[in-house]
Amino acid sequence: MDTANTIAERYIAVWNETDAARRRALIAESWLDGATYVDPLMAGKGHAEIDGLVSAVQARFPGFRFSLLAADGYGDRLRFSWKLGPTDNDDMIKGTDFAIVEDGRLKEVNGFLDKVPAAA
């Protein structure tokens, strides 16, 4: 398995990619075809739905960027923490995601929101 940090960095890159064609390519490289994503606010299955979720977050928070805070894992399990925010307040939203990885690609991601301001 690729390192936990490498997989988590590819995951963050998907969420930050605003060019739709490049984002879809990144999803295809880093997620299995039938992969799932779920968090308290949204869920999706497969590349097209995951791309739609990312696009919706980017539309809701234009100019915001994700940053990886920490990543670790063992076997096929991965845990990583991230932050999201505008350049002048880059830790406005924080979360921790848990993933199952197969052949170096994401199979399942369960997201948890650790910090969400009322204005978000």
pLDDT means per 10 residues in the chain (120 residues)?
A: 88 98 98 97 97 97 93 96 84 93 97 85
Which two three-digit tokens encode residue 91? 């830790």
What pLDDT, on the 0 to 100 scale, is given for residue 79?
A: 98
- Spell out a b/e string for 15-48, using b for 16 or more CB atoms within 10 Å of the CB, else e: bebeeeeebbebbeebbbeebbbeeeeeebebbe
| 3-state secondary structure at position 98 | strand
What pLDDT, on the 0 to 100 scale, is given for residue 120?
A: 60
What pLDDT, on the 0 to 100 scale, is given for residue 90?
A: 59
What pLDDT, on the 0 to 100 scale, is given for residue 89?
A: 74
What pLDDT, on the 0 to 100 scale, is given for residue 98?
A: 98
User: Which class in CATH covers the domain with range 4-115?
Assistant: alpha beta
Domains in the chain: boundaries: 4-115
